[in-house]
Amino acid sequence: DAGVTQSPTHLIKTRGQHVTLRCSPISGHKSVSWYQQVLGQGPQFIFQYYEKEERGRGNFPDRFSARQFPNYSSELNVNALLLGDSALYLCASSFPRAADDEQFFGPGTRLTVL
């Protein structure tokens, strides 16, 4: 079975531009979460979507937004890019159950802002 997939794998943008990152969850998974990982740090939670509704938001500015589609895939949008937005963006999917909520991560999208 295919794991979590993300596109593109790498992206270079300039300050002020907008970017859209895409994620397809594991088949059957209905929850998608987004994380930002700056070099040398652990991932930081950005958003969680479940059944197309936002269920959680981390401490990120309004320039960050996301949505989930009927097929449970998701997009992360970042407006007015800053140099500090350069990071590895990770998507995770899960099938929430009462006793377990194991998160499965994709390979990430490396965003470089110049």
Partner 1 sequence: KQEVTQIPAALSVPEGENLVLNCSFTDSAIYNLQWFRQDPGKGLTSLLLIQSSQREQTSGRLNASLDKSSGRSTLYIAASQPGDSATYLCAVSSYGTASKLTFGTGTRLQVTL
Site for partner 1, rule CB under 8 A: 4, 6, 31, 33, 35, 40-45, 48, 50, 55-56, 58, 88, 90, 92, 94, 96, 99-108, 110
- CB 27 to partner 1: min, Å: 17
Q: Which is closer to partner 1, CB of 6 or CB of 24?
A: 6
**Helix or strand or coil: residue 40?**
coil
End-to-end CA distance of the chain: 37
| In the complex, minimum distance from the CB of residue 16 to partner 1, in angstroms, rounded to a whole number | 26
Residue 16 or 96: the one with the smaller Cβ distance to partner 1 is: 96
64 versus 105: smaller Cβ distance to partner 1:
105
Q: Shortest Cβ distance from residue 12 to partner 1 (Å)? A: 15
Gap between the Cα atoms of 10 and 81, Å rounded: 15
What tokens does 18 get? 């907008």
Rounded-to-integer distance, Cα 22 and Cα 68, Å = 10
CA distances from 15 to 20, 49, 98, 111 (A): 14, 27, 43, 12
